[in-house]
Structure 1
C-alpha cells in the first residue's frame, strides 16, 4: 500500500483439454473474472526472491520463498480489486502527469542521466515503458484512495506532540554515520550461481579494502559498479531509518575505519566502510512538526487503505491457487 501513497491480468481463451490444464498449472489466483498468472507473482517478487540466494539452509529458503510469493500475490490481488474500482469510477491519468511523476522520481533520487535511470530501472525489472505504465496506475490508485480514505484521516495537536516526545526520546543520543560503499551489481533475474559469484567478488574487494594503507575512495572509483563510484562511493552522513535494514545494521555496528563483509540489497552486494560518526542534537518541535505530521498522515492513511482493501476483498470472488 505504501507505494500507492508515495506519489510518491492475463485473460486467455484456450481450446482443448491439454492447453486448459497448462493454464490451470500457471494460475496463481482468480479475482472475480481476472486471472493472476504465477509468472506475474514471480516477477513482482523477483527483488525479494533474489535476496534468498544468500540463505544456504534449503528449508529456510523454501519457507521464505513461499512467504514472499504469498505476500506478492496478496499485493496483486489488492491491485486487481482497486483497478476494478478505478475503472468503475472512470479515473484516468494523462501522459503529461506520468512524465511529471517520472521527473519527480528522478529528482528525488538525484538522477540527471537518463541512461543511469534506465539502468536502475532495469535492476528492478522495469523498462522505461513498463515503469511509465506502473506510475500511471499508481497515480490513479492514489486518486481513488484520496476519494475513499483521505477524509477519514485526522491529525490532532496531541497526536503531533506525542509523536515528537517519542522522537525526542529515540533521537536524543542518536548518531549520524558517514560511510562509503562499493557495489557489485546483481541483476534481479540472476541465477543463484551468478549471485554467489558476485558475492565472492565482493568478498575479495572487502579483503582488498582492509589492506593497510588502502584508499577506499580510490578503490571505489576503480571497482564499484554503482552511481556513486565517481564520488569514491561517498554516501555522506545519514541517520537510522534512511538506508535499507541490512545496510543500516552494518553501518551503525561497525567502528570508524572498519570495512564490512558483503551486504545484500536489491542492487547487489555492497562493501561498506565507516569513515566517521558524530552525535546529533534533537531538532526543535516547530521544525519537526511538518515532518511528523506527514509521517502520521501516512501511517493513518495506510491503516484506512488496508481497511478499504479488506472491504473490497469481502465483496469479491477470490480463488487462490498458489
Structure 2
C-alpha cells in the first residue's frame, strides 16, 4: 500500500496522484505517502453523523458537532494507517486459517449454521462476506500488534483493584436498576436523513399512542415493535448502568416508573421506552467482582497505552491533515 519513494521523479508523480485524487474525492489527510479520502472519513463517521442530523436541530451546533466527529474519525483512520505499516514491517499479518477460525467463532456466537444466514446477518450490518473478512482481518492484525507492543505494559495491582472497588461500591450504592420495555422502529445506521426522519415520525406517533389512557405498552410493542423483543412485549428485564448503549441508557435512567420516553436514536433505529419499575442495587462483595474489575482496568489501561503508542508512531511519521 505504501512505498518509500526516494527520487524526485517519484515525488512529482505522487504529487500528481494526490492532485488527481482531490479532483475526484477531497483528501482528508496524507499519512507518509498514503492518502485518506474525505469519503473514508465520512463513511467511518456515518452512524454518529446520522444521529447528529436527527438529534441536533441548531445548524451552528450541528456544524460544530459534525466537525468534531469528523476529526475524531480522521484521527482513528490515521492511527490505523500507522499501525498497518508496523504490522507489515513486523510480519504480523493474519493467516487464512486464523481468519477462517475467527469467522467460524462469529458464526457460532450468533447461532449461524449456514452461509446464507451468515450473509443475511452481515447484510444487516452493512457488510458483504468479503468486506467483513477484510474488516475482521484488519482488526485481528491490529490486535496482534497491540499484544506485542502494548499488552506487556499493562499491569493491574491489588491497590488498583481496591481503589476501583471503592469507586464501584460508591456508584452502585447510590444507583438503581430499571425494568424497561421498548418499541423499536428500525432504520439503518447509514440511512439517508429523509429515511431517518420518516422513522422518527413513526416512533413519535407510537410514543404518543403509548401515552394514551388505557393503552397496554406491552401489547403495543408486540404489534408494532420491529425488534427481537417484540414477541415479549418489548421486555428488556432489569438492567444496570453500563449494559445498554449510552443513548438508550441515559433516557432509561432518567424516566420515572410508568413514564414513556420521546424517541431515542441508536445504531439500531428509533426506540420508545417505558420504565416499568426501579429498584435499589445491592453492592456485591469485592471478591465477587474482582475479576470483572480487573478486566475493566486492563481494558482502560490498554486503551490509554494504545493512544500513547499511536502518538509515538505519529511523531515518527509524516502526517498532513487537510480538513
Identify the TM-score tier after normalising by the shorter chain: 0.7 to 0.9
Residue number in structure 2 paired with 1:98: 99
Query: CA separation in 1, counterparts of 2:40 and 2:292?
Result: 36
1:233-289 deviation per Cα after TM superposition (whole angstroms, max 9, x unaligned): 221211011222221121111122211110111121100111222222111111111
Structure 2 stretches lacking a partner, 5+ long = 4-12
SS of the residue 1:260 aligns to? coil
Residue number in structure 2 paired with 1:200: 201
Structure 1 stretches lacking a partner, 5+ long = 1-8
Residue number in structure 2 paired with 1:153: 154
Query: CA separation in 1, counterparts of 2:57 and 2:136?
Result: 36
Number of residue pairs aligned between Structure 1 and Structure 2: 312
1:116-167 deviation per Cα after TM superposition (whole angstroms, max 9, x unaligned): 8756654543333312221111111111111111111111111111111111
Residue number in structure 2 paired with 1:43: 43
- Following superposition, the deviation at residue 197 of structure 1 comes to 1.5
**Cα gap change, 1:67/1:198 in structure 2, threshold over 3 Å: closer, same or farther?**
same
**Cα gap change, 1:16/1:277 in structure 2, threshold over 3 Å: closer, same or farther?**
closer
SS of the residue 1:64 aligns to? helix
For 1:269-280, list aligned pairs within 5 A. 269-280=270-281
- Following superposition, the deviation at residue 107 of structure 1 comes to 6.3
Residue number in structure 2 paired with 1:3: none
Query: CA separation in 1, counterparts of 2:272 and 2:42?
Result: 28
- Mapped contact 1:116–1:227 kept (Cα < 8 A): no
Query: CA separation in 2, counterparts of 1:116 and 1:222?
Result: 25
- Following superposition, the deviation at residue 222 of structure 1 comes to 1.6
RMSD (CA atoms): 2.7
Q: Which has the larger radius of gyration?
A: 2
- Following superposition, the deviation at residue 92 of structure 1 comes to 2.1
TM score, norm. by length of structure 2: 0.88
Query: CA separation in 2, counterparts of 1:63 and 1:42?
Result: 15
- Following superposition, the deviation at residue 98 of structure 1 comes to 3.1
1:185-215 deviation per Cα after TM superposition (whole angstroms, max 9, x unaligned): 1122322222122111101011111222222
The more displaced of 124-133 and 299-308 is 124-133
- Mapped contact 1:28–1:36 kept (Cα < 8 A): yes
1:51-79 deviation per Cα after TM superposition (whole angstroms, max 9, x unaligned): 01221111111111111111111000000
- Mapped contact 1:10–1:35 kept (Cα < 8 A): no
1:265-321 deviation per Cα after TM superposition (whole angstroms, max 9, x unaligned): 112110011122222211111111101111111111111111110000001011111
**Cα gap change, 1:213/1:135 in structure 2, threshold over 3 Å: closer, same or farther?**
same
- Mapped contact 1:123–1:188 kept (Cα < 8 A): no
TM score, norm. by length of structure 1: 0.88
